[in-house]
Structure 1
């Protein structure tokens, strides 16, 4: 059996390893256009903050390690075409063009950040971290400039802005939405996060819709619909887009450009599977198909694609969106649905908020059952915070109820609490509020 995998990042690598485990007699071939295998985009951050000595440590696996497991890796071997009817691919390697037949094809080409088709001047002013080469170039750019403009106020943009401030740079952050991370947080917490970023010295401009950027030897000019910004370098943290150019005329695509797949990651062509940043995943209680270009989802879908090659055995599980970012000793967490989404879906829900010195949290549950639907929180960055984060993520994924969680306060925790007592205060308050609401003492939901 011939298994061909296109893409050597996290999804492709996980698919290759799973194929070798599941099909020990198969020939597994992996094709990667670049020079790296599963290079972590966070490597530059780790180097700049002193957690890694060198960018060369950013690759999570070596070529020798894969080949020792009989995975035939072709680096610097871009695939030029896919012929799904013939079950072959055409690729270039060492200046020559070859064809490779397959029985099963796993697509894991990943995503890219706009803009495309950069001029040489733009490339010299753009901070990119997708692979080792661009991260190395970006490391030099960051050292040389005084002012950096970040486009996009989601978690990636926020963490980049904080990093550049820590390095002593002047930082401007522009965001098209009404406040930072507005797709993740309701205003009560999103505005708190934004205020904290401003206190760190970041210039924040919301409702600023990016249009273009021009660069020359003197600097960069970024144009939005509302204003023009002058800067020394630009970091784009928006518009991750799937790399589907190879298959856009051969496979069914979704309106957002992702590849259509069924529950087992099978595409519209027999024997062809897609995973990672190429596909959408079922999310939340509505199981809505959502684009989630995250490393965790890339690894999960890469492995599932491999396991389903010969038979549809393991459907993609419904995910619960969870996200956490650290901002100057504070951890901001969001999971499940927001109040905005609950109102849009016209859900009958109970909402409460609790605040103490170490915790500010919003809890949303089903009104009738108490099933946890959404959690948003700001926690002090301390030892017990990680346990609370894990508990919140588990509560969402497992569909736990406020009543069940409130009972956990009775568990013996020893002399040193493993879970912040404020968490139990918050969930207990929520359960009592919902119970009174069901008895008619409160409205449909309470703050």
Structure 2
């Protein structure tokens, strides 16, 4: 009997992969919500008109899983884990029951960390869960004029862009605690390109903001900060995520940030696997562990655990932190490490950047940055931004980083050319590699 606690991306993928490997294993998923696998940025999709209902951001269907002989119990929350007896306590509505397992998979994801200043205020809206997004959407549909977004990382920037598209008349301000927007996400070259687009879209932002208190004031929310008092009709907090480790505290060894301590097969105990947003993962190619709550990471940790449980293969996963996001008409792609990771390694990271032509996309420009090992010239990371849809480059960037390609190899790598297709005799990655070698 395999019991899976959590029916989001890691939990469902683990169930599906185990079923492929073992047609007869008994598999049960317990999920506390009424749905399986809600995409956390579903609100952004709706605001941009990509979907018509938030429910379209739910990716998994209970009946489809049941057709594969995967038992699913929604609105079922795990209260306690007992590794000694190999049992879990599940609450379903007003009833509790004890479930025995042979293998336990814990995939209960992350939670949005509350700000000390907002405790009890009920003035700050969130976007991570379906319930959060529905509540936020209802408020946005009211007659509001000024909106503040707490957090200038990827989620905050994407949200600001979606809000501008949804309600062009909104006064939108981003408040960021770090000294720069996207401080931990992308290089300054990419940030500058995004900020230029934000300025053209009349998005205000303040950095170095420390929110000291949030109070209600005649229907509006008033924020007291280290840079003065700000008043808005609505405050939306971009996700500040941490592992949802509450039920694990007395059962499984946790790191200082609340992530679970596991082996390379994501085992925390002999029969317990912990997946997805509950973990810190090695960032390839530098192998230092970071907290990277990404859906693609959740899915791949599930693959590793499923193969180990089934005894079929020994798989290994290190994340390249490959990610795509879009804001203000730009598509941004990133993979691997950057210069901000130097404090975790013993060598320096060199950087080259430039603006090149995407010959296959009507000569659109692409802002590109490569990060290079100073001794070996291996490509440690690549980032790019363009008004063209460059999302397909994410997989290419990831392969280059994972394959530890050197700058010399990238300079002459044979990207295809054919006069009948949209291509060019040299690729922008050839060009930035050559520029790096001639600096």
Q: Give the deviation of 1:116 after TM superposition.
A: 7.8
Partner of 1:337: 337
Match of 1:181 in 2: 182
Match 1:429 to one of 412, 426, 435: 435
Offset at 1:119?
A: 7.5
Q: Does 1:276 align with 2:276?
A: yes
Q: Does residue 408 in structure 1 map to residue 408 in structure 2?
A: no
Q: CA deviation at 1:344?
A: 6.8
Give the corresponding residue for 1:255: 256
Spell out the pairing of 1:239-254 with structure 2 (5 A cutoff): 239-254=240-255
Unaligned runs of 5+ in 2: 358-364
Q: How does 1:30-41 map to 2 (within 5 A)?
A: 30-41=29-40
Figure out how many residues of one structure are paired with residues of the other and give that number: 427
CA distance, structure 2, for counterparts of residue 177 and residue 294 of structure 1? 22
Is 1:158 the counterpart of 2:157 in the alignment?
yes
CA shift in 2, pair 1:415/1:350, >3 Å: farther
Aligned to 1:115: 114
345, 366, 370: which one aligns with 2:373: 366
Query: 1:140-187: per-residue Cα shift (whole Å, max 9, x none)?
Result: 111113222111111111000111122222111111111111112333
Q: CA contact under 8 A between 2:194 and 2:328: conserved in structure 1?
A: no
CA–CA separation in structure 2 for the residues paired with 1:337 and 1:54: 36
**Counterpart secondary structure, 1:208:** coil
Q: Give 1:59 shift.
A: 1.4
What TM-score do the two structures reach when normalised by structure 1?
A: 0.88
* 1:395-441 per-position Cα deviation (integer Å, ceiling 9, x unaligned): 112212222222235742333334784443222222x32xxxxxxxx
**1:368, distance to aligned residue in structure 2 (A):** 4.5
- Aligned residue for 2:262, secondary structure, equals coil
In structure 1, stretches of 5+ residues that fail to align are: 434-445
Corresponding residue for residue 391 of structure 1: 396
1:297 is displaced (CA, Å) by 0.6
Q: Does the 8 Å CA contact 1:151/1:210 hold for their aligned counterparts?
A: no
* Distance (whole Å) between structure 1 residues aligned to residue 267 and residue 312 of structure 2: 9
Shift of residue 89, structure 1, vs aligned partner: 0.8
Change (3 A) 1:249 1:116: farther
Aligned-residue offset at 1:121:
6.2
8 A Cα contact 2:110 2:244, kept in partner: yes
Q: 1:73 maps to what in 2?
A: 72
1:209 is the counterpart of 2:218 = no
Paired position in structure 1 for 2:19:
20
Tell me which residue corresponds to 1:199: 200
Alignment RMSD, CA only? 2.5
- From 372, 385, 393, the equivalent of 1:378 is 385
Report if the CA contact (8 A) 1:36-1:131 is conserved.
Answer: no
Distance in 1 between residues matched to 2:398 and 2:181, nearest whole Å: 22
1:129 & 1:77 partners in 2: Cα distance? 22
Cα distance in 2 for residues equivalent to 1:291 and 1:258: 8
Could you tell me how far apart the structure 2 residues matched to 1:85 and 1:364 are? Answer: 47
